[in-house]
Amino acid sequence: MDDVHSLNFQFLIIARELAKTNRGSTITGLSTGVVCRIGKMTIQQLVELSESKICLFTLRLNEFELDMALKQHKSIRSSYLIAHASTSQATSKL
């Protein structure tokens, strides 16, 4: 299993587990519909999808936001990123 395949599979497994919660979309950056769909997939379907040669997920920060996150003290970095994710998610629904 190459690195991209492994990362994809781990991400899909996490998304599948998060589909059981109300935080799946916020944590993964995926739409609610995609998280729900992944939540219904079998392990075999996740394996097949993860075998793609490209990453199935992307960093959701632009360069400025990445720099801002790095400037935050580690004790509040997670809060900053959660706030950013929530704001981005709300903005994308407009």
What is the spatial distance between Cα 38 and Cα 14, in angstroms, rounded to a whole number? 10
What is the spatial distance between Cα 31 and Cα 25, in angstroms, rounded to a whole number? 6
What residues contact residue 91 under an 8 Å CB cut-off, 6+ apart? none
Question: Are 82 and 37 a contacting pair, CB within 8 Å?
Answer: no
Residue 16: per-residue pLDDT:
97
| Mean predicted lDDT score pLDDT of the chain | 88
Percent of the chain exceeding pLDDT 70 equals: 91
- pLDDT tens digits, one per residue of 69-90: 899 998 898 888 888 777 766 5
pTM: 0.76
pLDDT above 70 (res 1): no
